[in-house]
Chain A
């Protein structure tokens, strides 16, 4: 199983501005300290080996879109944030070059704008012969997608799309065989509700997609259900938008969780890897890197018998599960 991150930012797409790129280049030149490089490959090797991630890269700014690739069956895609535009083009390339079936199955955490805004730019939806199945815990998913393509919001109406498009409402507590994966879902606390998804492939590998989920301070006993849903997962993609203090004070009821709670839930669930996800849009690359390092440290401080590897998702990351 491969998990590809096409969009990892929360709430609103963002992009690194000119001065951010300039500052990274300036810092890299200072770090190189007069060294010369034979070619760009040698320069890239220097960047990879001697600078930390945030100094030489960016976490990106596309909103939520994650692909679960089990090597067979239709494309499996979690959410339709702005990262979906690039996935659409790359998946069409794979259809053309690798003979992949022209079938996409989406799993929507919820219907808020940042999680569906990529669909009007999803090129396969415009291509005759494409088959698109949109799975959601929400019965009003079709209404949400049609509404964002009404003329007041977007020039191309939903009915203009040439793909065969089907909506399916899934229920928590059941297991579904979809393509080459077994899928189940859990309802989460978020405005208008959200759903987390658990994907298991034929080899038994498990990936969890759990974003836009607030673990309420006055319902901590209910977290046993979340722990059971995460149980023994190989990878948990988790909403870690805020610090714990923010999530229980000024940003309480904003529908998001913290890096600290994510680690505790994964520890309790005996999960193997956690991917920090749905990054706060006001965070710079340095802010996200700091949050990543602090989360690794918290995991070390609170670790029980089994270590949890803490990854930090970025646009373009591909994780082999």
Chain B
């Protein structure tokens, strides 16, 4: 563990919540990413947009955290939408087939639509 941490901002827009982590989601940051995202998914229903614009890349631990958060969210009535992946993240979502189990939007507006 390198001790590195993720940036993390949240906002509300159009009745939805938007969380925007920043950095690399790898073995050093995956636990923090998992806990924060699950917490957000469990807190209230509606749409939770995960803004990926600040995520450089995500390993399998981060991807699996998305699934854990999705499970937690389904208990709370939260739908997670992924938004603004960079080209690397878009490739990773395609290779892992996560783009077939999550809605992936090009913009925040599309995610909220």
Contact of B95 among A220, A221, A248, A298 (CB under 8 A): A298
Kindly list chain A residues whose C-beta atoms are within 8 Å of the C-beta of B68. 217-218
Chain A: residues with Cβ within 8 Å of the partner, total of 23
Instruction: Please give me the residue from chain B that is nearest to A301 by CB atom.
Output: B88
Q: Which residues of B contact A268 (CB under 8 A)?
A: 27
Q: Is the CB of B30 within 8 A of A220?
A: yes
A164-185 interface (Cβ within 8 A of B): none
Interfacial chain B residues near A147, Cβ < 8 Å: none
Determine the chain B residues whose CB is within 8 A of the CB of A298 once the complex forms: 91-92, 95-96
Expressed in whole angstroms, the minimum distance between the Cβ of B96 and any Cβ of chain A is 4
Say what secondary structure dominates the interface of chain A. Answer: helix
- Among candidates A218, A245, A295, A297, residue contacting B97 with C-beta atoms closer than 8 Å: A245
A294–B27 Cα distance when bound, in Å, is 21
Alpha-carbon distance A217/B97, docked complex (angstroms): 16
Asked whether A243 is an interface residue with its Cβ less than 8 Å from the other chain, the reply is: yes
Chain B positions 43 through 72: 1 when the CB is less than 8 Å from some CB of chain A, otherwise 0: 000000000000001011101100110000
A248 contacts B67, C-beta separation under 8 Å: yes
- CB contact between B64 and one of A220, A259, A297 (< 8 Å): that residue: A220
Cβ proximity bits A223-256 to B, threshold 8 Å, 1 near / 0 not: 0000000000000000000011110110000000
* Distance in angstroms between the alpha carbons of A244 and B102 in the assembled complex: 13
Chain B residues with Cβ under 8 A from A246's Cβ? 97
Instruction: Select which of A218, A221, A249, A258 is within 8 A of B60 by beta carbon.
Output: A258
Nearest 7 A-B pairs (CB), nearest first? Answer: A245-B97, A243-B97, A244-B96, A294-B95, A260-B60, A264-B60, A261-B60
Interface residues, chain A, with chain B CB atoms under 8 Å away = 217-218, 220-221, 243-246, 248-249, 258-261, 263-264, 268, 294-295, 297-298, 301-302
